[in-house]
Amino acid sequence: MGIFDKLFNKKQSQAPVKERTPLTIEVGDIVTYDLVEYEVVGKITYRSHGYEWFGYQLLEGHDTIWLSAEMDDELELGMYEKINLSVTSPFPKQLTYQDKTYDLDEQGEASVVGEGRSRNINGQTIQYAEYGDNEEEHFLSVESWGNEIEVSYGYPIEAYEIKIIAGSKEIEEEM
C-alpha cells in the first residue's frame, strides 16, 4: 500500500476519533482561541491530595501560551503567559504586577506528570501559589521548579471561547 493509499483509503477498522473536552486534550491536538490555531506541544498534569488539574502548552509560530483546565465545582479555564516577575520563596501574601495588587488565594505542593515538550518534568514535586486581583479578572500563577521560580499572568475564559480539534496520531503512526 502506497502513501496515497494510506492517506485516502478509508479503513472501516479505524476507531472513531474521540471528542475532546478541555479535560481530555492531548499533545498533538489543535486548540483554536481568539481566531488563532495553536498546536498542543506539552501537557502537565498536576496532582495534590487527590485533586487533579492540567496545563497545556499551546504553540503558534514562536508564541507560547498556556491553557489551564480544572474541574472544581464547575469547569474553570484560564489563559496564561510567562512573565518576568521576581518572586522568592516562601511565597509572599501579596504580589504587585503592572501597578495592580494580587492577593494570595491558595498555595501548596503538587506532583507533576509531563507529556510532549514537558515530559522531562515527570516525577517532580513543585510548590505553587495562585494570586488574584480584587475584581477576579486577572491572576498570577507561581511555580517553584527547584531553583527556578516561574510566574505566569492570566485571566479566566469560558469553554465556548476555545475549539479543540483532535490530533491525527493515527495517520502519522501509519506512515
**Residue 137 DSSP one-character state:** S
Q: How many domains does the chain have?
A: 1
Which pLDDT belongs to residue 173? 39
The three cell numbers locating residue 147: 531553583
8 A C-beta contact, residue 22 and residue 159: yes
Exposed / middle / buried, residue 107 (Cβ in 10 Å: 0-12, 13-18, 19+): middle
Which pLDDT belongs to residue 19? 86
Residue 47 CA neighbour count, 13 Å, CB half: 9
Which pLDDT belongs to residue 170? 40
Which pLDDT belongs to residue 146? 87
18 Cβ neighbours under 8 A, 6+ residues apart: 24, 166
What is the residue-level pLDDT of the chain in tens, covering all 175 positions? 555 555 555 554 455 667 899 999 999 999 999 999 999 999 999 999 999 999 999 999 999 999 999 998 999 999 999 999 999 999 999 999 999 999 999 999 999 999 999 999 999 999 999 999 999 999 999 999 988 999 999 999 999 999 999 986 543 433 3
Which pLDDT belongs to residue 34? 96
Q: What is the pTM of this model?
A: 0.86
Which amino acid would we find at residue 47?
A: R
Which pLDDT belongs to residue 6? 52
The residue segments making up the domain with residue 34 are 3-174
